[in-house]
């Protein structure tokens, strides 16, 4: 049987109270001698705290939960790194749960499991919640924050400003002299997609450029969507520049362009949104609007730690343009 504080208490001829105080570092009130003795015996017995018991009695837990989709958002690693680092600094543990992809049931299950562990906070990564899961989450009263995906439901989030992303990316190509600019691979049903489209349109109209709705291709930010977009633009592309809505889309466009014999950047300029490592290992390297994913993770944790009462939050992290070889 695994040793408990009772065993230690017996061995050390003290009460469990004393053992508990020593082992949870309330050392302001125990003598050095006793502390040392208790710690030594705990060590000898190979004692491990039972977290369930602690959480039960203290009614708190020092765990942050991250929920993400399995959809291969290749930037989630960066966000998670930020979360982990910041959590670690604050003595918190992190547990991660994959909610399947677009599987409402699994999503619900995942959130339910998390809630039943009464974690300290929940970070939702690039996750679009269906209504039922959303109710569950709100009802739980556990602080939460969406990362990387904003939303229009008045739920707290930290993300890039997607209007700005759409605007800046487009503006960048305009400044390079392009007049026919595509926007590829985004989900025009999502809040994020709408924002980017608005930014894109605004940049065009601000510069007195007309827009052809054929230039916008929809999708779910995947590699395949990139290929499809390029096929749509054609061998003699109807656009001279394109804003790829994820790095994978960018690479897809790039590869299909190569197949078509369309030279990048000579015949087609590409600017890719995200700026993950992928941009640098393809050829030509992709110019990108780089998001501050790591920072999103950091900020997300900070927000949860300071939110005693549920409060509103809409925070944008910075974006920057990194020019590489595709423009």
Q: How far apart are CB 61 and DNA at their closest, in Å?
A: 12
CB closer to a copy of itself out of 114 and 239:
114
**Adjacent-strand bridge partners of 184:** 217, 244
CA separation (Å) from 288 to 63, 204, 233? 35, 19, 20
Question: Is residue 134 a contact point for a copy of itself (CB under 8 A)?
Answer: no
Which one-letter DSSP state was computed for residue 27? G
Quickly count: other Cβ atoms within 10 Å of residue 189's Cβ.
10
Q: How far apart are CB 41 and a copy of itself at their closest, in Å?
A: 16
Contact 256, 227 (CB under 8 A): yes
Question: Is residue 23 a contact point for DNA (CB under 7 A)?
Answer: yes
Q: How far apart are CB 253 and a copy of itself at their closest, in Å?
A: 11
CB closer to a copy of itself out of 219 and 252:
252
**Mask: binding to a copy of itself, 248-267, rule CB under 8 A, as x and -?**
x--xx--x--x---------
3-state secondary structure of 146: strand
Q: Which stretch binds a copy of itself (CB under 8 A): 27-35, 81-89, 161-169, 237-245?
A: 81-89
Question: Is residue 48 a contact point for a copy of itself (CB under 8 A)?
Answer: yes
3-state secondary structure of 270: strand
**Mask: binding to a copy of itself, 8-47, rule CB under 8 A, as x and -?**
--------------------------------------x-
Candidates 51, 207, 306, 314; binder of a copy of itself (CB under 8 A) is: 51
Contact 233, 225 (CB under 8 A): no
Which one-letter DSSP state was computed for residue 118? T
Binding partner selected for residue 218 from DNA, a copy of itself, none, CB under the kind-specific 5 to 8 Å limit: none
User: Phi-psi category of 96—alpha, beta or left, where left has phi over 0 and alpha has psi -120 to 50?
Assistant: beta
Binding partner selected for residue 14 from a copy of itself, DNA, none, CB under the kind-specific 5 to 8 Å limit: DNA
CB closer to DNA out of 117 and 320:
117
Contact 94, 87 (CB under 8 A): yes
**Mask: binding to DNA, 46-75, rule CB under 7 A, as x and -?**
-xxxx--xx-xxxx----------------
Maximum alpha-carbon separation in the chain: 86
Q: What's the distance, Cα to Cα, between the start and end of the chain in Å?
A: 65
Structure tokens at 276: 């993950």
Question: Is residue 96 a contact point for a copy of itself (CB under 8 A)?
Answer: yes
SS3 content of the chain, % helix, strand, coil (to 5): 45, 15, 35
Tokens 């633009």 found at: 233
Candidates 20, 62, 97, 285; binder of DNA (CB under 7 A) is: 20
Q: How far apart are CB 84 and a copy of itself at their closest, in Å?
A: 5
Burial 101-130 (b: 16+ CB within 10 A, else e): eeeeebbbebbeebbeeebbbbbbbbbbbe
- Positions touching DNA (CB under 7 A) are 1-2, 4-6, 13-18, 20-21, 23-24, 26, 29-34, 47-50, 53-54, 56-59
- Positions touching a copy of itself (CB under 8 A) are 2, 46, 48-53, 55-56, 61, 70, 72-73, 77, 80-81, 84, 88, 93-98, 100, 106, 109, 112-113, 115-118, 139-141, 223, 248, 251-252, 255, 258, 277, 281-283
């Amino acid at each position: 049987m695994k040793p408990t504080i009772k065993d230690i208490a017996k061995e050390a001829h003290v009460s469990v109270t004393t053992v508990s105080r020593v082992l949870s570092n309330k050392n302001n009130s125990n003598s050095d001698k006793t502390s040392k003795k208790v710690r030594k015996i705990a060590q000898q017995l190979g004692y491990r705290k039972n977290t369930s018991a602690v959480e039960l009695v203290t009614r708190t837990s020092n765990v942050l939960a991250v929920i993400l989709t399995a959809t291969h958002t290749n930037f989630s690693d960066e966000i998670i790194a930020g979360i982990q680092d910041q959590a670690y600094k604050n003595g918190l543990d992190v547990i991660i749960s994959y909610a399947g992809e677009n599987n409402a049931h699994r999503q619900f299950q995942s959130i339910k499991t998390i809630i039943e562990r009464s974690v300290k906070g929940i970070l939702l990564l690039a996750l679009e919640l269906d209504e039922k899961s959303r109710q569950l989450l709100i009802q739980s009263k556990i602080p939460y924050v969406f990362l990387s995906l904003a939303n229009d439901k008045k739920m707290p989030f930290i993300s890039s400003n997607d209007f700005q992303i759409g605007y800046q990316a487009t503006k960048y190509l305009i400044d390079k002299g392009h007049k026919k600019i595509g926007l590829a691979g985004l989900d025009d049903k999502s809040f994020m997609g709408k924002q980017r489209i608005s930014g894109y349109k605004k940049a065009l109209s601000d510069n007195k450029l007309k827009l052809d709705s054929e230039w916008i291709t929809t999708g779910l930010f995947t590699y395949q969507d990139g290929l499809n977009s390029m096929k749509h633009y054609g061998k003699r592309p109807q656009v001279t520049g394109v804003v790829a809505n994820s790095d994978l889309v960018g690479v897809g466009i790039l590869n299909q362009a190569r197949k078509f014999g369309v030279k990048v950047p000579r015949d087609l300029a590409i600017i890719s949104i995200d700026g993950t490592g992928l941009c640098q290992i393809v050829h030509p390297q992709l110019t990108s609007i780089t998001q501050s994913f790591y920072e999103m993770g950091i900020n997300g944790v900070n927000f949860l730690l300071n939110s005693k009462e549920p409060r509103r939050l809409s925070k944008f992290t910075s974006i920057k343009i990194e020019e590489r070889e595709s423009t």
